Amino acid sequence: MRDYEITLIVQPDMEDEDRMALIEQAQSWITALDGEIAKVDHWGMRRLAYPIRRFREGYYVHLKAQMRGENVRELERRLQLSESVIRYLTVRVDDQVAQEPQND
């Protein structure tokens, strides 16, 4: 399994409970696809660089997960079908970069 970083931008007008349910659903999709979630960071509401579907802000969530490469496409398909996710980005973390110590 490889390490991935998945960033979601969720519609800003969602209630907190609905937003948390959507994030939990995304996590369950990852685990259903034989993945493991390492970390979930809620970055919160941020201004977008340009309007997306008439939204000027979005709620950012950053997930670190381990998945098989062939299951990433299915996860992205599910995220694309979700109307509440206005953008997503999936990045494979290079093995060498993952082993370097980070200065936080």
User: What is the tens place of the pLDDT at every residue in 52-86?
Assistant: 999 999 999 999 999 998 899 999 999 999 999 99
29: three-class secondary structure by DSSP: helix
**In the numeric block, which tokens belong to residue 63?**
């997930």
The pLDDT of residue 96 is 66
Q: What integer best gives the mean pLDDT of the chain? A: 90
- Quote the pLDDT of residue 104: 58
Question: CA geometry: angle at 31 spanning 5 and 26, to 5°?
Answer: 60
Q: Strand, helix or coil at 98? A: helix
pLDDT value, residue 4: 94
Q: How far apart are the first and last CA of the chain?
A: 26
Place of tokens 């990045």: 91
* Predicted pLDDT of residue 20: 94
Sequence letter at residue 64: K
Domain ranges in the chain are 2-94
Q: What is the mean pLDDT of residues 5-34?
A: 93
- Please give the average per-residue pLDDT across 10-21, as a whole number: 93
CATH topology assigned to domain 2-94: Alpha-Beta Plaits (3.30.70)
Residue 1: its pLDDT value, please? 86
- Per residue, the 3-state secondary structure of 51-86, as one string, reads EECCEEEEEEEEEEEEECHHHHHHHHHHHHHCCCEE
